[in-house]
Amino acid sequence: MDTNSLQEQQTSQHRGNEHAPVTVIGLGLMGQALAGAFLRAGHPTTVWNRTPAKAEQLVAQGARLADSVGDAVAAGPLIVVCVSDYDSVHELFDPLGDVLDGRTLVNLTSGTSEQAREMAAWAAQRGSTYLDGAIMATPPGIGSSDTIVLYSGPQSAFEQHEPVLRNLGPGITYLGADHGLSSLYDVALLGLMWGILNAFLQGAALVGTAGVDAATFASFAGQGVGTVAGWLPAYAQQIDDGTYPAFDSTIDTHLAAMDHLVHESESLGVHSELPKLVKALTERAVAEGHGGDSYAAMIELFRKPSGARP
Ligand code: NAP
């Protein structure tokens, strides 16, 4: 594609053209879902995957399978890449020369904020505009009304391509110009997810010793998660203010209850490492003088590297 037609395509996209072309590189479970969503929305979609057979279904739905990564990139102004990791992105794009010049690369591969910032610098050296993104969904959720995709990078590029990217999920969120933000939110939210899931599994194991099935516990657990979610705004306010008056419960009170969880787990023969870890962290907060504070004061621990002492 010559520079003029690339500019024409970018201009038509800027007007919110519903049929702007898009390229998807990487057709694993997620990449196939992304390309499928663009196709369903009527975007001419060029695809490429290291294992070409994974493109078959998409080609049957109207996608064009490019012969090479370079061919796929050259097909249009907007390139979406979603492969296993950033090293694979480099492996694919490093040999390409200047074909990315003037195009926008949207990287939905999971990684760290450092990798995202490095990739942004790499793209800038090649004349490419770079948006980093993080998908808060599994492949079947792509395109559905509650799917959220987080983006960071230049706001103008985000706004230019938002009409196309919106097809992946209307819950589209622009976080800011710092390319690292979407990865940072991603890992923070993954940590939240694992915290909830592991606590649920620990609880299911505990009540399971009394013959209670996981489905019964799940309804109680769901309500508990909702209750705790309701506490977050007040705790967040304390964290932002840097003061932790115990308006609901002190850390000392939490610590006493943690003892019950540890002992119950040990006496019932249920795994106890997670409750012990939580208890050890809480004991450190007490040792640092936060026993009379609200649980939000635990942030003082989380802000330090592991192993740091008061
Ligand atoms: P996947 O099904 O394992 O697909 C991995 C993709 O990466 C395939 O297209 C694979 O190509 C490609 N790939 C890996 N190494 C490569 C290399 N060296 N050169 C070229 N291509 C390479 O994984 P996925 O579920 O699609 O996940 C892709 C990304 O989305 C990951 O970063 C993941 O964390 C993120 N993500 C996934 C989910 C999810 O629920 N699946 C949710 C959010 C984010 P081949 O087909 O040739 O092997």
Q: Which of 84, 90, 186 to mutate to test the pocket of ligand 1 (most atoms within 8 A of CB)?
A: 84
List of domains in the chain = 3-176 (3.40.50.720), 209-302 (1.10.1040.10)
> Ligand 1 centroid to 183 CA: how many Å?
16
**Per-residue 3-state assignment (H helix, E strand, C coil) for 29-79:** HHHHHHHHHHHHCCCCEEEECCCHHHHHHHHHCCCEECCCHHHHHHCCCEE
Which residues of the chain register pLDDT less than 70? 1-17, 309-310
Task: Walk across the sheet containing 64-65 and list its strands.
Answer: 64-65, 45-48, 22-25, 78-81, 104-107, 129-135, 148-152, 171-176
Give pLDDT, residue 19: 85
The string of pLDDT tens digits covering residues 164-200 is 999 999 888 999 999 999 999 999 999 999 999 999 9
Interatomic CA distance for residues 168 and 4, integer angstroms: 28
- Measured from the CA of 33, which atom of ligand 1 is nearest? 26
Alpha helices in the chain (DSSP H): 3-14, 29-40, 56-60, 69-74, 86-93, 113-125, 155-165, 181-208, 214-241, 251-268, 273-285, 299-302
Mutate to test the pocket of ligand 1, among 27, 83, 149 (most ligand atoms within 8 A of CB): 83
